[in-house]
């Protein structure tokens, strides 16, 4: 699906972690091949000592397992799209993915220390939010909280009572009776025909603060911050590979250059914030990317050829 969908990513450390000199505990990973794309964001448990380790390792591990399982299904049902759809929506399909991931986490924890539960709790408590895109069907899945936007429709996934997210590794450590075993399994948040998917956003829960800062002006700048919708409504995020990352940095209190303009703002995120943006990229949209001093600058197609307009609904025409 790499010729059909393009991705943009960005991640910043939240103020609560910056002031105590703590690392970014979010991570993301994308695998995109000719027939399958998987994108994942993960958020490590803030109270754990090394939760960024789990977020980084977990996002990569899950992406590879999901791709492998999806490819097996795709090969098996190559001539039966209806059966392929049923397979990747089946709870057994996702439970097999979860069990394979838990098996890997258990093995790593056993290598790292004698007390498996302690190792898991210190290093491997993280949420998972992702999308699997096949030529026929796309599935948004996850364990834990975060934010999803699909074709402009935003869905906030809330944590459990007391701001306590569910983590993948609860399948090994247990959740202390706070959530059921069923809640610790992968949840299917949405699915649709891939032909109907135009744009999507996956984000960790820190991005929810941006939704609260809607229509706030950036000091010393010329652009308004239109909540999350700016990321799929403004063409600069499609045209420029670094635009999403730079915007998150600007919002988070840095002073950065974008084009000929310098921007600076107050910190916007108290928690770490990570965003993966995906959008349909027709072959005629392909841009030649050249590295320059101030970042990657795409060369525009001549005239209006290949340009797409992104409407406020998030659909491109």
First to last CA, the chain: 20
pLDDT at position 1 is: 80
Averaged pLDDT score across all residues of the chain: 81
Mean pLDDT, range 266-286, rounded to an integer: 74
At residue 261 the predicted structure's pLDDT band, cuts being 50, 70 and 90, is low
User: Is 70 exceeded by the pLDDT of residue 278?
Assistant: yes
pLDDT at position 258 is: 53
Between 239 and 64, the higher pLDDT residue: 64
Mean pLDDT, range 257-285, rounded to an integer: 69
Mean pLDDT, range 250-279, rounded to an integer: 70
**In the chain, pLDDT over 70 holds for what percent of residues?**
78
Alpha-carbon span 124 to 115, nearest angstrom: 13
Residues in the chain, overall count: 317
pLDDT at position 96 is: 97
pTM listed for this prediction: 0.81
Between 86 and 300, the higher pLDDT residue: 86
pLDDT at position 259 is: 58
**Tens digits of per-residue pLDDT, 145-168?**
999 999 999 999 998 887 789 999
Alpha-carbon span 71 to 178, nearest angstrom: 35
> Where are the chain's structural domains?
5-282
Structure tokens at 45: 């448990």
Q: Is the sign of the CA dihedral 52, 54, 59, 60 positive or negative?
A: positive
For residues 38 and 31, is the Cβ–Cβ distance under 8 A? yes
Within its chain, how far is the Cα of 34 from the centroid?
20
Topology, domain 5-282 = Phosphatase 2c; domain 1 (3.60.40)
Structure tokens at 120: 């898991």
**In the chain, pLDDT over 90 holds for what percent of residues?**
51
User: Is 60 exceeded by the pLDDT of residue 205?
Assistant: yes
**Tens digits of per-residue pLDDT, 56-89?**
999 999 999 999 999 999 999 988 989 999 999 9
Mean pLDDT, range 294-317, rounded to an integer: 36
User: Is 90 exceeded by the pLDDT of residue 308?
Assistant: no
Instruction: Tell which residue, 31, 38, 134, 36, has the closest CA to residue 84.
Output: 134
Alpha-carbon span 289 to 189, nearest angstrom: 34
């Amino acid at each position: 699906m790499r010729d059909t969908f393009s991705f943009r990513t960005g991640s910043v450390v939240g103020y609560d972690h910056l002031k105590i000199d703590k690392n970014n505990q979010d991570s993301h990973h994308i695998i995109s091949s000719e027939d399958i794309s998987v994108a994942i964001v993960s958020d490590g448990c803030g109270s754990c000592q090394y939760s960024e380790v789990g977020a980084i390792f977990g996002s990569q591990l899950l992406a590879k397992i999901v791709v492998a399982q999806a490819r097996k299904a795709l090969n098996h049902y190559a001539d039966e799209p209806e059966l392929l759809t049923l397979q990747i929506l089946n709870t057994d399909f996702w439970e097999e993915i979860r069990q394979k991931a838990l098996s890997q986490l258990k093995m790593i924890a056993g290598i790292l220390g004698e007390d498996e539960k302690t190792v898991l709790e210190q290093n491997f408590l993280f949420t998972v939010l992702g999308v699997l895109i096949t030529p026929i069907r796309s599935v948004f899945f996850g364990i834990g909280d975060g934010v999803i936007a699909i074709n402009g429709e935003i869905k906030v996934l809330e944590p459990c009572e007391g701001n306590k997210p569910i983590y993948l590794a609860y399948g090994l450590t247990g959740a202390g009776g706070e959530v059921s075993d069923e809640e610790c399994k992968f949840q299917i948040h949405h699915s649709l025909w891939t032909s109907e998917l135009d744009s999507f956003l996956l984000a960790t829960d820190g991005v929810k603060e941006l939704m609260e800062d809607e229509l706030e002006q950036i000091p010393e700048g010329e652009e308004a911050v239109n909540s999350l919708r700016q990321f799929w409504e403004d063409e600069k995020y499609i045209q420029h590979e670094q635009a999403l990352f730079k915007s998150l940095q600007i919002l988070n209190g840095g002073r950065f250059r974008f084009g000929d303009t310098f921007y600076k703002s107050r910190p916007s995120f108290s928690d770490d914030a990570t965003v993966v943006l995906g959008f349909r990229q027709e072959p005629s949209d392909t841009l030649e990317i050249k590295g320059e001093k101030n970042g990657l600058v795409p060369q525009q197609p001549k005239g209006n050829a290949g340009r797409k307009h992104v409407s406020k609904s998030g659909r491109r025409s």
